[in-house]
Structure 1
């Protein structure tokens, strides 16, 4: 069953010179989760942050840290991110040879486990691990950079996954990341998403605008 919408601002779009302040600001503005994009310059064409930064940010918010690993191999770094303060760790099926084992590793560390589907990765990639996972993240852009345009074809994938989650009876969050703004957010929600990652749309306008930005994405009136 689709849950109330949660907003997970991506700190990829925050001011990196003052990340701690930015995390505190989005927390106070009503963010539900803090989304952390981890990129290695290999799996995706960008480099961002590692476990040390996650650990440093942890003291700035008690909200769940939603950590998206865009790295390969992912397995050697999972424990470090878990120890740094991640609450949910999401990986791509392509980031290692044994997705089932990777999910087992995350769960054994006491963390929520997510699987991420790139635009060209079919929904079927997670069908056989749905009994283990807590979150499915649909990428509505190709991962690596913020500010990209929403890929319309991912709406059908979101709808398919919504149907399968509901049929499974399991408590799985359906999250969407990429090109989420005031126009695309309601369409993703209508398709079945109940968590939205938003970078540019959250952080535009500075801290005084964050609360209104988050409310607009959630659909508050």
Structure 2
């Protein structure tokens, strides 16, 4: 398991009146990825971005763009996000009738592939596709809105996921999204997560974006 922490700020919590400036500030502050939560108002009760956001992001940073498709029909959107230059696309197990095929299509497009699991979705749902995964996203709360609290029982799920991936011989990174703050990050880290999505804790930090990122990084206990 890697000893490197990856921070992927979610621009869902950014100030859209100065999005470009905030993306540049993220890179300057040491963010690793830019996380894009795509929501359709059906699979989750909120609406956010379409593929149009990718050229906006890429105009302001060279950081990898990490796309999380929280949509009912990911297959309809994947080609546009591939064409837009996403470096990583994560789809939900719960929405894919043909999960194997969908992951294959992402990889065939030259992009890293991830699978996301809602809090109630079991680790074992990835058994047949684990060899296709570069990333596994464990939701730390019910998806749809930024600023929700971390569900403490998800630390146990992350630990089970880490054991599952090790048994499978997988090098997939465990990512966590939902409720990640300076108070909760280390619990997820100790359980086996290595990539962390955070929105409110970074963009809402009273000391600014750079302080929000540093506050998260310094929580890690090796």
TM range (shorter): over 0.9
Q: Confirm or deny: 8 A CA contact 2:39 2:69 kept in the other structure.
A: yes
Counterpart in the other structure of 2:145: 145
- What's the offset of the Cα at 1:180? 0.4
Counterpart in the other structure of 1:175: 175
Q: Confirm or deny: 8 A CA contact 1:10 1:35 kept in the other structure.
A: yes
- What's the offset of the Cα at 1:93? 1.1
- What's the offset of the Cα at 1:82? 1.2
Instruction: Kindly indicate whether residue 200 of structure 2 is the aligned counterpart of residue 216 of structure 1.
Output: no
- What's the offset of the Cα at 1:76? 1.2
Q: Deviations over 1:109-166 (max 9, x none)?
A: 0000000000011111112111111000000111100000101111111001111222
Counterpart in the other structure of 1:115: 115
Q: Deviations over 1:165-220 (max 9, x none)?
A: 223333211000100000100110011100110000011136x6222221221236
Structure 1: segments with no counterpart, 5+ residues? none
Instruction: Kindly indicate whether residue 12 of structure 2 is the aligned counterpart of residue 16 of structure 1.
Output: no
- What's the offset of the Cα at 1:74? 0.5
Distance 2:178 2:2 in 1: 20
Please give the secondary structure, in 2, of the residue aligned with 1:90.
Answer: strand
Distance 1:141 1:30 in 2: 26
The TM-score normalised by the length of structure 2 is: 0.95
Distance 1:183 1:120 in 2: 23
The root-mean-square deviation of aligned C-alpha atoms, in Å, is 1.4
Distance 1:117 1:92 in 2: 6
Distance 2:129 2:170 in 1: 12
Distance 1:202 1:127 in 2: 34
Q: Which moved more, 1:55-64 or 1:99-108?
A: 55-64
Please give the secondary structure, in 1, of the residue aligned with 2:127.
Answer: helix
- What's the offset of the Cα at 1:58? 1.3
Distance 1:94 1:170 in 2: 21
Instruction: Kindly indicate whether residue 196 of structure 2 is the aligned counterpart of residue 196 of structure 1.
Output: yes
Distance 1:122 1:134 in 2: 18
The TM-score normalised by the length of structure 1 is: 0.95
Q: Deviations over 1:45-104 (max 9, x none)?
A: 000010011222112111111100001111011010111121100000122211000000
